[in-house]
Structure 1
Amino acid sequence: MSLTGNHLIAGIETPATGTPFTARNPATGATLDGQFADATDEQVEAALQAAEAACDPLRLSSPETRAQLLDALADEILALGDALLDRAHAETALPMARLTGERGRAVHQCKMFAGLLREGSWLAPRIDTAIPDRQPLPKPDVRQVYSAIGPVVVFGASNFPFAIGVVGTDTVCALAAGCPVVVKGHPAHPGTCEMLGGAIARALEKVALPAGSFSLLQGAGHALGGALVRHPLTQAVGFTGSLKGGRALMDLAAARPSPIPVYAEMGSVNPVFLLPGALAERGSSIAEAYLQSVNMGVGQFCTNPAILLGLNGPGWDTFTQRTAELASGVAPATMLHQGIAEAYEGGTEAWKRLPGLQALGQSTTAADPAKTEVPCQIFTTSIDQIENQETLHREVFGPCSIVAPCSHRDELLRFAHSLEGQLTASIHGTPDDLADHADLIHILERKVGRIIFNGFGTGIEPCPSMHHGGPYPAASHSFFTSIGTASILRFVRPVCYQGFPDPQLPAALQNANPTGAMRLVNGTLTRDPIA
């Protein structure tokens, strides 16, 4: 499939006339086919005007129509075949098996949200019927349901070109909610973005929804992102990336005359706590799982376990010895792009300059900079150093982590209290350990979005119960998730209808309940119609 390098604005390929850029194969350094360029201010205006024009037709379309859109999108993603995998592999150096699995996840997400739309209860309809003869005042008929907020700007992630990219959760759930989407393509994989943008355009055409419901603007500089966030027609932003990038977008959005929400999923060190029973029973096997998690995807996961604490003793020694042994055997691997590799090298070099930080284990084979390779690096230090060095509380994206022994449980609790907001925390223990450390769990409940028992945060199941978020700085708003069906709630708001005739109400609020959704009617959950 040949690439045009054009932007896609409301289904129309628009020539790229701004500052040019190309994609680079991180494993070889070769420049890849395709000439791309930053979108201009005029193209930003065109995309958002098209999105605004599509707002009412899209949000007023039936849930079934939007479900058919997502089904069609799933088909279009698969129809791209090996060409999509080949281009993504060339642009990211992610293994083909990983990309094949991620494509399956993207398709699953489309199907999952299609099912959510068809079931209907996500709209959370609430109905309180009138009591006209109530004394001393009549009670009015009051009904509430979620409604789409309008055009959404999406910034895709570098590390998930499919599942958190152009056709990722942000885009899919915004379209499901009835919101037009303008995606800023990621400059590290623009060819992949172009192919997936075309898939969305074809899916919209199949179900006769407005072409302005989706646009893709490419860009390598920060100016494009700023223009999209500042544009008065943008109503919300979805972002997955670094704390620095997310905070910059949050500040831009807050400075608008009409501030808008930025739903940013950002950095996290995802602490791991090893409790005594688990260390005594399986210190060696925990080390194996830990190293696998640290190195999954070359450590390029926002849920990478960057800090691990355990109680000192024989089990701890077994764990650290096995960790050092395994780390030495990890071969250097290629990161997503040069910028990430340089940030990893800079971050780990800064760690090495800290007093009291020592190497526990690292790759013994030299990394090849020409292949954008980096080594696995595991460090050890004291709990006091971790608590007192703010640098160690900041994410370093890549296959590195720090382990520290604690002399008693109070040190575990003190560290947990000191944590900023986190996406995940993991506790390895026995049932007795959990009972003995209930206070640790209670602390983490206030710090973390997802607490994992006897596992690690890497590997996220897109499902209704998943919460991928956490208190700041893990995310911009701790209530919302960026993965799972609840992510749709970022792009809707409640609208209340008082005293309306039944035919003029949204379908989910009508007496007959034509959607079949579960509704809260006069305080009782029911799918029954109102007599």
Structure 2
Amino acid sequence: MLIGARALPGHAAAFSAFNPATGAALEPQFGSAIISDVDLACELADQAFDAYRETTLEQRAAFLEQIAQNIMDLGPALVERAMLESGLPQGRIEGERGRTVNQLRLFAKVVRDGRWQGATLDSALPERVPPRPDLRLRKIAVGPVVVFGASNFPLAFSVGGGDTASALAAGCPVIVKAHGAHPGTSELVGKAIQAAVASCGLPEGVFSMLHGDGRTIGTALVNHPAVKAVGFTGSRQGGTALMRTAAQRPEPIPVYAEMSSINPVFLLPCALENRAGALGTSFIDSLTLGAGQFCTNPGLVIALDGPALESFCASAAAALEEKGAATMLTSGIHSAFTEGVARLAGAQGVTLVGRGKAGDGPCAGRAALFITDAANFVGNPALEDEIFGASSLVVRCSDLEQMHQVAAHLDGQLTATIILDQDDRDAALALLPLLERKAGRILVNGYPTGVEVSHAMVHGGPFPATSDSRSTSVGAGAIDRFLRPVSYQDLPAYLLPAALQENNPQQLWRVRDGELVKA
């Protein structure tokens, strides 16, 4: 464990990581935290908060860049350990490492820019009736944040991932509850962050990392009074459990949980008629990418019934037959996937379209595609359950009106995709308002499994995709989750924070008396 500046062995139950490709336990063993470790990490974070949140923009940006550099300096050791603990190939891990450091660098740019502070100045109007006082507003960090590492991204959504980067950018100390599937990877990245805290001269409580069971250590972290927000990526069951815990505190706090999504793909009639075969192949390529272990995996296809859809399914089935079984991240994820596919195969009104090749590894996931009709889908809520892995369901619709009924029926989603040709214009215009109500990101003629880290990205959506549809966990907007506004009335100049001082020392774009100015 890493608690402030210290590296400490866990004193609770020891555990090992496992190589999902072989089932073999990996050395060394790791010890779990006890409640006193939680208290120490949270107390250090609370002590660090006021000093850290008032670091200069340059200090905080340089700190994020130093973390990124320290992660890169880990070199092959990080890649090799992550491959062993996840079963993911070298190219995927190296790409994920690049994404991790890029989002840290993106948030360094966001911090330097300073717009996240929302600096706003309303001048005093003493002659007005009634008079208006001098009012100034900025956003400040909410306080220490607990981040839960994700199973499917050992780097980009874990110890040094997007939740940690955005919380640190906002000025919040972070306590990470590392995921039990990749403790060695977590320790390497955690030490890189710990070293950056020390070399940048920051209070030690800016970062800590604990191992332990989610039901005990995770719950204790969320319940600690010093903690003011939570970032989580994982299952709907886990996310809603944290939401209940946070809501029942004496001081309820927000939980930003990214949870369940089946990411519907709508094949509009002209596109399907013109490109059925090619679409079947490209869809399977997206479905099976990374063994389907993405929160944006396309788990649902909606299309009009007819010969074109039959061609799509035939092409998809042929493509599936060529896809080998892929190693899944953990035995638990593999078991849940296998059970979910079996339930779907046995559901009333559901027919198998095709399967991928079987595998012989302990966590080999065999891709699957099924089909049903719209009435059966709408009438059976279980068909909308997420199956985390390379499994998808095709829904046949009799006409565009029924396609709209299916869209309106869906729960909240991270993404919704429209596959269209030029002659589908009217159908797309009619469908779009429905999808805007359902999803955080809408794509055209692409697949949702790539999530760009950028200023315009939204990785969120209505429940159960996330716990708060107003937020994103990827992209520059992720910083907003960990900020709150404070208004300052008639403060003397010596008390004003830099963002609101009259001479604008940070050279920010600010809203002054309703006008956006750099003054």
Instruction: Give TM-score, length-normalised by structure 2.
Output: 0.99
* Structure 1 residue matching 2:26: 3-state secondary structure: coil
Distance 2:425 2:86 in 1: 40
Maintained 8 Å contact 2:412/2:438: yes
Maintained 8 Å contact 1:21/1:220: no
Query: Which of 238, 245, 252 pairs up with 2:245?
Result: 252
1:100 matched to 2:94? The reply is yes
* Structure 2 residue matching 1:302: 3-state secondary structure: coil
Match of 1:18?
12
Distance 1:51 1:230 in 2: 15
Q: CA offset at residue 474 of structure 1?
A: 0.6
Match of 1:57?
51
Counterpart of 1:280, as a letter, is: E
Match of 1:347?
340
Match of 2:212?
219
Query: Which of 178, 184, 200 pairs up with 1:191?
Result: 184
Distance 2:274 2:503 in 1: 59
Distance 2:254 2:422 in 1: 41
Match of 2:438?
447
Match of 1:4?
none
Distance 2:382 2:185 in 1: 35
Match of 2:479?
488
Distance 1:386 1:11 in 2: 54
1:504 matched to 2:495? The reply is yes
Counterpart of 1:389, as a letter, is: N
1:116 matched to 2:107? The reply is no
Counterpart of 1:42, as a letter, is: S
Query: Which of 124, 127, 131 pairs up with 1:133?
Result: 127
Distance 1:503 1:284 in 2: 69
Maintained 8 Å contact 1:469/1:478: yes
* 1:369-423 Cα shifts (integer Å, max 9, x gaps): x431010111111111211111111111001101122111011000011111111
Match of 1:172?
165
Structure 2: runs of 5+ lacking an equivalent: none
Q: CA offset at residue 184 of structure 1?
A: 0.2
Q: CA offset at residue 449 of structure 1?
A: 0.6
* Structure 1 residue matching 2:139: 3-state secondary structure: strand
Match of 1:328?
321
* Structure 1 residue matching 2:375: 3-state secondary structure: helix
Distance 1:390 1:46 in 2: 45
1:82 matched to 2:76? The reply is yes
Q: CA offset at residue 253 of structure 1?
A: 0.4
Task: Answer with 306-315 or 150-159: which moved more.
Answer: 306-315
* Structure 1 residue matching 2:418: 3-state secondary structure: strand
* Structure 2 residue matching 1:46: 3-state secondary structure: helix
* 1:67-126 Cα shifts (integer Å, max 9, x gaps): 000110011000000000000000000110000011000110111000111111121111
Query: Which of 352, 358, 370 pairs up with 1:359?
Result: 352
Q: CA offset at residue 432 of structure 1?
A: 3.2
Match of 2:395?
404
Match of 1:91?
85
Counterpart of 1:438, as a letter, is: L
Distance 2:428 2:282 in 1: 22
* 1:333-387 Cα shifts (integer Å, max 9, x gaps): 1100000000001111111121121110102x3222x431010111111111211
Q: CA offset at residue 502 of structure 1?
A: 2.3
Counterpart of 1:150, as a letter, is: G
Maintained 8 Å contact 1:287/1:322: yes
Q: CA offset at residue 313 of structure 1?
A: 2.8
Counterpart of 1:431, as a letter, is: Q
* Structure 2 residue matching 1:515: 3-state secondary structure: coil
Match of 2:426?
435
Maintained 8 Å contact 2:420/2:428: no
Closer/same/farther in 2, CA of residues 501 and 431 from structure 1, 3 Å limit: farther
Counterpart of 1:171, as a letter, is: T
Counterpart of 2:499, as a letter, is: A
Maintained 8 Å contact 2:331/2:362: no
Percent sequence identity is 45
Q: CA offset at residue 217 of structure 1?
A: 0.2
Match of 2:299?
306
Task: Answer with 158-167 or 504-513: which moved more.
Answer: 504-513
* Structure 2 residue matching 1:22: 3-state secondary structure: strand
Maintained 8 Å contact 2:268/2:427: no
Distance 1:187 1:327 in 2: 32
Distance 2:497 2:10 in 1: 41
Counterpart of 1:444, as a letter, is: L
Match of 2:21?
27
Distance 1:361 1:181 in 2: 45
Q: CA offset at residue 433 of structure 1?
A: 1.1
Match of 2:280?
287
Counterpart of 1:300, as a letter, is: Q
Q: Number of aligned residue pairs: give it.
A: 519
Maintained 8 Å contact 2:414/2:460: yes
Distance 1:378 1:288 in 2: 12
Maintained 8 Å contact 2:4/2:205: yes
Counterpart of 1:180, as a letter, is: P
Distance 2:266 2:342 in 1: 25
* 1:462-514 Cα shifts (integer Å, max 9, x gaps): 10100110111110000000000110011110000010122321111111111
Match of 1:48?
42
* 1:506-527 Cα shifts (integer Å, max 9, x gaps): 1111111111221111111111
Distance 1:188 1:437 in 2: 42
Query: Which of 505, 509, 513 pairs up with 1:518?
Result: 509
* Structure 1 residue matching 2:463: 3-state secondary structure: coil
Match of 2:232?
239
Distance 2:106 2:77 in 1: 25
Maintained 8 Å contact 1:38/1:221: no
* 1:419-472 Cα shifts (integer Å, max 9, x gaps): 111110100002331333322111111111111111111110010100110111
Distance 1:137 1:234 in 2: 41
Counterpart of 1:128, as a letter, is: D
Distance 1:199 1:378 in 2: 42
Maintained 8 Å contact 1:294/1:399: yes
Distance 1:55 1:437 in 2: 48
* Structure 2 residue matching 1:520: 3-state secondary structure: strand
Counterpart of 2:143, as a letter, is: G
1:416 matched to 2:407? The reply is yes
Counterpart of 2:516, as a letter, is: L
* Structure 2 residue matching 1:359: 3-state secondary structure: strand
Counterpart of 2:429, as a letter, is: A
Maintained 8 Å contact 1:119/1:516: no
1:265 matched to 2:263? The reply is no
Distance 1:274 1:502 in 2: 60
Maintained 8 Å contact 2:458/2:472: yes
Distance 1:355 1:132 in 2: 73
Match of 1:3?
none
* Structure 1 residue matching 2:27: 3-state secondary structure: coil
Counterpart of 1:54, as a letter, is: A
Counterpart of 1:123, as a letter, is: Q
Distance 1:434 1:125 in 2: 42
Q: CA offset at residue 221 of structure 1?
A: 4.6
- In the TM superposition, 1:147-158 aligns within 5 A as 147-158=140-151
